Amino acid sequence: MGEGESMGAKERIGVVGAGLMGSEIGLVFALAGHPVVIADQSESVLKAARARLANVTQKGAQRGFYSETDARQALERIVETTDLLKFNECDFVTEAVFEDLAVKRQVLSALDEVCTAHCVIATNTSTLPISTLAGCVREPRRQQFIGTHYFSPASRMKLVEVIPAFQTSQDCLQLTMRLCESIGKTPIKVKDVAGFAVNRVLHVLLIEAVRLVEEGVATPKDIDTACRLGLGHPIGPFELMDVTTSRLCLQAQEIMHEAYGERFRPRPLLKQRVLAGLVGGKGNKGWREE
């Protein structure tokens, strides 16, 4: 994308990380007409991502979200690779690897080396400070560095928290907001604080839900029912923890507890369950499976 150009429907998009989140971020860009490169370290992970996206788009077409032709063309726009050098032609790259500072630092530093000067690098994180991650790239890149926190599943959830770092330029912020809107998302600008906005609200709810179970007030299943039918939530807190894993929830609460104090202290029961391996997710028992 040369000087003076605006972000358009045909801009080249890169995503690093072919897990559930990264692959679906790539998919929503592809559905909006963008050519997409998705990278991961392993060919087997990339193959699994391709199969998963084929399944997601099939279900999306069946439910009328888009046509079968749109689904097929979107998949054709996605190229998988294990070589980050393929990102040297991208205009906007999203890092969506494991929520670990050391892992992200390695990936972001590598992207800084291979991406062109005009390319925006966005990090998808739910808890790590964007300005800290901006320190993983060189000084000239930091104006083109921003946080974009998608919600799972990214193919369906509309919200994106857009978080500028200390040195993020106004042009980069505006471009990112426009790009999110162009792929059917609703972006909100959020200050770079621990947990951003949504997770600070969410984890207060999750902590109190676990406390209710500890106190014997109600079962996880009944609390989920209460939140769905009494509060209008599409999914209950324990269902959500099983989807995202209790391990990730504990990690987020520990980060926010360090930042904000007692109101985010993780409950003992959550810690015990994580240590016992009852974390939910693929292949593990969770709150709802006992």
Residues 266, 256: Cα–Cα separation, whole Å:
10
- Determine the Cα–Cα distance for residues 256 and 65; give it in Å rounded to an integer: 36
Query: Would you state the structure tokens that stand for residue 143, as one six-digit string?
Result: 């104006």
pLDDT score for 126: 87
Is 215 a known active-site residue? no
Nearest-angstrom CA–CA distance, 204 and 195:
11
pLDDT above 80 (res 8):
no
- Whether 161 sits among the annotated catalytic residues: the reply is yes
Residue pair 160/180 in contact (Cβ under 8 Å)? The answer is yes
pLDDT at residue 10 in the model = 77
Residue 10 CB-density burial (10 A; 0-12 exposed, 13-18 middle, 19+ buried): exposed
Q: 13, 90 in Cβ contact below 8 A? A: yes
User: Which H, E and C letters describe 189-222, residue by residue?
Assistant: ECCCCCCCCHHHHHHHHHHHHHHHHHCCCCCHHH
Name the active-site residue from 23, 124, 126, 155.
126
More confident residue, 99 or 136: 136
Q: Which of 11, 24, 95, 161 is catalytic?
A: 161
Instruction: Quickly tell me which residue has 């609703």 as its tokens.
Output: 186
Q: pLDDT per residue over 224-248, tens digit each?
A: 999 999 999 999 999 999 988 999 9
Q: DSSP assignment, residue 89?
A: G
Q: Residues 34, 199, 239, 246: which is the catalytic one?
A: 199
Establish whether 124 is a catalytic residue: no
Please state, as a whole number, how many other Cβ atoms lie within 10 Å of the Cβ of residue 114. 17
Q: What percent of the chain has pLDDT over 70?
A: 97
CA 148-149-153 angle, to 5 degrees, is: 125
Of 11, 24, 80, 149, catalytic: 149
Whether 208 is catalytic is no
Quote the tokens at residue 255. 């980060």
Instruction: Report pTM.
Output: 0.90
- Measuring CA to CA, how many Å separate 121 from each of 72, 95, 109? 28, 7, 11
Q: Which pair of structure tokens corresponds to residue 197?
A: 């906005």
Arithmetic mean of pLDDT, 6-27: 86
- Structure-token match 């959500």, residue found: 240
Q: What is the mean pLDDT of the chain?
A: 94
Amino acid residing at 165: A
What's the longest Cα–Cα distance across the chain?
Answer: 62
